[in-house]
Structure 1
């Protein structure tokens, strides 16, 4: 026999269930976004050229904002005060050189590979279900961590091996004071390997396509941010707690002291291997003796 108290509890549970069904979405939040993209842009999304177009266009869009800051310089004191090396601004010739190298690498290496892939690989199927928000966040962070480990090893090897450094990596260190277009001012071999890991890592982690493309765009953004030459209060490194993330200031140290701060994003691998170094804001350079040359 059911008591009056038990009846009251059942009514409360029933009302709570009705509330959840009425006021909470019955589908994952990203499902609405994914359905819109999948139903309206299916042919574009299935093309092997889409990831290339997505990352290249994102790269130049992210670069433009920081280049405006560089061009305006001291005329925008509220912005300029966040510049890491305030007495050094890129010249027009430096910017044009980086644009030329970036365009050459994409035309000679990236786009031919994408077109070849388009020729032999059929369009990829689009799943009907979108990832949950948690799945997307975990996939993006996991891909960033995996890339961070791969690039740390690759980067450190190219600095420790003189032939690798001179042949493939030295061009990226032509600039001690960084600006956004220097992000992809590098040898074609490096761009191909970075692009390979960026593409393969979400596949290894079995990420949804929407997660994969979001990771690619976010990865481009944080790469540009690392090279932008500014350390804003809203920089990713300041938003991530406990100094876990590197950021623009620490990558600026790498270009002043090339045997430090090899990891592209996070700080744990450099701390483990003893190559971590902090930027000294009061002096505008690295503390003497804080890392070996």
Structure 2
């Protein structure tokens, strides 16, 4: 009887894997057939990065607006004793600063990088396992590289003043401020992400998903809310918004963007801001 149950379980698993593989292959064939010219556009990376960042910030703008009338939303804020949520004017001011940097600096730089890259479009989509491994590998490598660069920017006064200080104008960050940095820092993060993808050797589909998840986690880290459904509550290895807000409050420690193991290993871990 137990053997029959095991066989049926394996059969269900195989069917699920086959269905997922068909979905990935269908998605990839659609991209290759109809969207190839769009994917090769010199202006696609910067445009998508900015638009996805703004879209991911929209729910937190709604939370900031609801916070003025809803006690439950206010209870989710991490630094509730530091003042009210950012005003609509602060959001718009930050939006125009980020947009200006993207148009004047990031867009030309990414267009240059895109023109130098040799984009390959393999016939086959990645398997589910390949997709998972590549994305996890990208996050682990990016987390390590960012930890080293972030630590250096705080330890070397010239780097802090010239590159990183602008980002720390927000003692209590909010979602849109995730990319409110100097042009040099924005370009350095782009270089880290591209280097990560190059080292891992990602399939283009894995690359796209990594960029999307990377953008979402950066927004969530800066959102200022310890939400019940936040990813760091589901995955204890993630620091999340409390972990990163402690970095902004203390101006030191918690240098890794997502995971906590590097800070714990090097003694730079700081207790998250009390909720």
TM-score by length of 2: 0.87
2:45 matched to 1:45?
no
- What is the aligned counterpart of 2:54 among 60, 74, 89? 60
- Which of these two proteins has the greater Rg computed from alpha carbons? 1
Q: Determine if the alignment matches structure 1 residue 233 to structure 2 residue 233.
A: no
Which one of 248, 257, 261 corresponds to residue 268 of structure 1?
A: 261
Deviations 1:211-262 (A, max 9, x none): 0010001000000000001111211111113xx2110001010011111101
| Offset from partner CA, 1:63-113 (integer Å, 9 cap, x none) | 111011112213133322211122331123422332222112211211112
CA contact (8 A) 2:254 2:263 kept: yes
- Counterpart CA distance in 1 for 2:75 and 2:258 is 23
Q: CA RMSD in A?
A: 2.3
Q: Alignment length, in residue pairs? A: 262
Measure the CA separation in 2 of the matches of 1:210 and 1:116. Answer: 22
Please give the per-residue CA displacement for 1:255-293, whole angstroms capped at 9, x wherever unaligned.
111111011000001001111112253xx5xxxxxxxxx
Using structure 1 for the length normalisation, give the TM-score: 0.82
Q: Is the contact between residue 28 and residue 132 of structure 1 (CA under 8 Å) also seen in structure 2? A: no
User: 2-side partners of 1:133 and 1:262: how far apart?
Assistant: 31
Q: 1:80 aligns with which of 52, 74, 89?
A: 74
2:177 to 164, 171, 182: 182
- 2:29 is matched with 35
**2:95 maps to 1:102:** no
Whether 1:212 and 2:212 are equivalent positions in the alignment is no
Partner secondary structure for residue 161 of structure 2: helix
The answer to whether the 8 Å contact 2:78/2:273 transfers is no
- Paired position in structure 2 for 1:92: 88
Q: 1:26 to 1:235 in 2, by over 3 A?
A: closer
Find 1:142's aligned residue among 137, 150, 154.
137
Between 1:91-100 and 1:246-255, the stretch displaced more is 91-100
Q: Which protein has the bigger helix share? A: 2
- Spell out, residue by residue over 1:21-49, the C-alpha distance to the aligned partner (whole angstroms, 9 max, x if none): 9x954955411211122222121123243
What secondary structure is seen at the aligned counterpart in 2 of 1:255?
helix
- Matching of residues 153-172 of structure 1 within 5 Å: 153-172=148-167
Q: Distance in 2 between matches of 1:277 and 1:215?
A: 27
Task: Quote the residue 2:193 is aligned against.
Answer: 198
Q: Does 1:114 align with 2:110?
A: yes
